[in-house]
Chain A
């Protein structure tokens, strides 16, 4: 079926992107002194590395969202799950070490955060599946609870909404290249998620649970269990994303305003809608949004006098433009609907 096939609009967008890149390279080639060239020259190995690091929370949120929504449960609480895991990772690593965590303690914090995120996802799943809550409003609630709970707990623990800084995870040395651990996990998770969805029985169940739960029920697979696993996976991936953001890059929990997650969960949702529920497409979209973010940071470093806040809105504007262009993606047929098995 044409499920993972790109739509016409997406092909059009991809074509436009290729044209823009080609034009920029031409400018670089023929007008090496122009400011455009200076921007083009930003793109190097370091830039790609920082893009990958910035993509971590977005891509993981997107992977999680795909599993949940494909199984029939729309999880718009991803932003909240990122906040919870970012907070928990720092809180646990900081608390067990007394403020100066070792690498091992950082990893303990990392996995505690993933576990906490999964528990929150379980709560969301129970509310949606057992108590038939409205998924959109329950997801909104998960976000708002996290938005209140993390700064609240920060104040209880540290007396302020921001944590003191801690160390970040050491890079993995892969022999030929050193890489940020959450980035490595992301680069492994994307193909793994694709494989699980497209090449395994579990993937077929997930797909059926979101498309035609009745049929899945008829062949003897428990729709509830499939949906629970879809939502729990969204918690698992969001946990990796939030902990990866906090311990892999920032080394602190920042709870003021929209918190350090700052809308990345929402961008993750847009990324998977843009990628049409395909993990690889979603990763591509996450990479695109992260590269804008990285560009913004670089432009500031280069001293362009564009106000940082204004450049900071570029990813969000892009999301809106992309949504308006790509618009309607075909969502799983039964997503958002409750399903009750015949046996009661």
Chain B
């Protein structure tokens, strides 16, 4: 027992006064470092496992629930109300058919593209932005108020609509960006942990928005807390599906933003600095990056993306600010983690989650299975992605290489010199940390 000579040196050298957030950053670094191929595999495996566990939850809840016609009953065991296979089938089919449902799926996908990108950018910069929801909420309020304020000064029609949409997007992004910059600044200059502050700021944003609307900007004709509706010519118009909730313009814009963010991260020096300060803060500092400024600006960019999401929510879906904005921000966390924090990966992840959300409406409508099931799946996916080691162990068991030696995966830190990061950043896939993978997935990359 005491023969611990080859125990990995879990505590890294020298930094005895390391803070909570530094550790969180390092954990993030590990997450960002895993190779692309491995991460795709892990995402799929996590997805598959969540589906399986979700099915068990459906079975058990069907056993608890009471219903007239259970799909399966056995003496001594009881009756099961919900058939997991039917649940998943309805979920998938319901996401695409009838066409109106497909429009809802695309609507959800569009919104999740914004929040997924928002979380991904922060993640890449080494920041946990749990505050996307609050940034989106205030961005939405900014959009609704600015459009309502400017509307009387522009002509009704296409020209006015384009103007109003531009104003709305601008203000939404600005408000979201400022609200996002706040936890960034708190972390940079007051050393306040951004995981906690962003969560707290969500509650604060909800309170502020509710108060502002209920006390100042309330629609006098409405019982509920909401602003007046923006003029219909300021709403993003549907092109296909004749849908009231989905606009092709918004989806195309969101996809363009995906390209833009990808280019920003991989093609600009700002993106380079952002990524290096996320993966190897010391190296970034050495290379002349002001890490404090980087914390603020990356969170501002992240918040602005969330704010755009809020703007599109108002311009496309709700046409006003109202209480009970859906938890797009929290879903964005799942989307980003599922996408491996890669902007391009956000597209399929957002589509999948958009489909799941529409499908959840279908299962509630058709099978009476509560739509909150998607919330459970969301948590499960994150949980499983958090434990790549589990899949490595399973992988090692079922494949040739059982020589998997899982030592501390943060060994890459020691090699942080400026020169190496320049290489590493060009091809993030070949970080030294992957030498430990061993098992099946590792084969792809060497």
Contact = CB atoms under 8 A, between A and B. Distances in A.
Interface centre among B1, B64, B206 (most CB of A within 10 A): B1
A310 B380 CA distance: 34
Nearest to A149: B376
A99 interface: no
10 contacts: A76-B195, A135-B27, A137-B386, A140-B386, A141-B380, A149-B57, A151-B372, A152-B61, A313-B207, A337-B11
A157 B193 contact: no
Contact of A343 (B3, B10, B64, B408): B3
Given A323-B186, A324-B186, A337-B11, A151 B375 contact: yes
A178 interface: no
B382 A137 contact: yes
Interface centre among A127, A133, A334 (most CB of B within 10 A): A133
Given A152-B61, A320-B197, A134 B31 contact: yes
A331 B186 contact: no
B415 interface: no
Interface stretch (A46-54, A200-208, A210-218, A242-250): A210-218
Given A141-B379, A156-B65, A340 B196 contact: no
A156 B59 CA distance: 12
B339 interface: no
Interface in B234-270: none
A337 B215 CA distance: 48
Contacts of A161: 372
B383 A142 contact: yes
Interface in B16-55: 16-20, 23-24, 26-27, 30-31
B379 A136 contact: no
Contacts of A220: 1-2
A330 interface: yes
Contacts of A341: 1, 4, 7
B317 interface: no
Contact of B10 (A258, A316, A339): A339
A138 B24 CA distance: 12
A309 interface: yes
Nearest to A266: B199
A338 B2 contact: no
A324 B10 contact: no
A156 B128 contact: no
A317 interface: yes
A148 B382 CA distance: 13
Interface of A: 74, 76, 127, 131-138, 140-149, 151-153, 155-157, 161, 212-214, 217-220, 222, 258, 262-263, 266, 269-270, 273, 307, 309-310, 312-313, 316-317, 319-320, 323-325, 327-331, 333-343
B211 A307 contact: yes
Given A137-B382, A213-B10, A336-B24, A324 B192 contact: yes
Contact of B385 (A137, A258, A329, A330): A137
A137 to B, nearest CB: 4
Contact of A217 (B7, B20, B203, B375): B7
A91 to B, nearest CB: 10
Given A149-B379, A341-B1, A133 B7 contact: no
Contacts of B407: 340
Interface centre among A142, A148, A310 (most CB of B within 10 A): A148
A333 B26 CA distance: 14
A74 B379 CA distance: 18
A131 B2 CA distance: 23
A127 B384 CA distance: 9
B383 A334 contact: no
A340 B64 CA distance: 41
Interface residues on B, range: 35 or more
A333 B11 contact: yes
Contacts of A213: 10
B208 A138 contact: no
Contacts of A74: 20, 23
Contact of B5 (A317, A319, A340, A342): A342
Contact of B406 (A132, A135, A310, A339): A132
A283 to B, nearest CB: 19
B387 A133 contact: yes
B387 A127 contact: yes
A343 to B, nearest CB: 6
Nearest to B409: A132
A84 B27 CA distance: 27
Given A136-B27, A316-B203, A309 B3 contact: no
Contacts of B2: 217-220, 342
A212 B9 CA distance: 11
Contact of A312 (B11, B207, B333, B386): B207
B423 interface: no
Contact of B4 (A262, A329, A342): A342
Contacts of A269: 196
A83 to B, nearest CB: 11
10 nearest A-B pairs in the assembled complex, by CB-CB distance? A148-B375, A342-B4, A145-B379, A141-B383, A313-B207, A144-B379, A155-B370, A133-B387, A324-B190, A152-B372
B377 interface: yes
B367 interface: no
A34 B252 CA distance: 60
B200 A137 contact: no
B204 interface: yes
B190 A327 contact: yes
Given A151-B372, A316-B201, A327-B190, 7 more contacts: A127-B386, A262-B203, A266-B200, A316-B207, A331-B23, A333-B11, A339-B7
Given A127-B383, A148-B378, A335-B23, A340 B372 contact: no
Nearest to B199: A266
B8 interface: yes
Contacts of B5: 342
A77 to B, nearest CB: 10
A337 B23 CA distance: 8
Contacts of A152: 57, 61, 370, 372-373, 375-376
A309 B210 contact: yes
A262 B373 CA distance: 20
Contacts of B377: 148
Nearest to B31: A134
A156 B10 contact: no
Contact of A317 (B190, B204, B337, B389): B204
B375 A138 contact: no
Contact of B186 (A136, A320, A339): A320
B420 interface: no
Interface in B167-223: 186, 190-193, 195-197, 199-201, 203-204, 206-208, 210-211, 214-215
Given A74-B20, A220-B1, A214 B7 contact: yes
Interface string B361-404: 00000000010111111111011011101100100000000000
B130 A140 contact: yes
Contacts of B379: 141-149
A137 B375 CA distance: 16
A131 B393 contact: yes
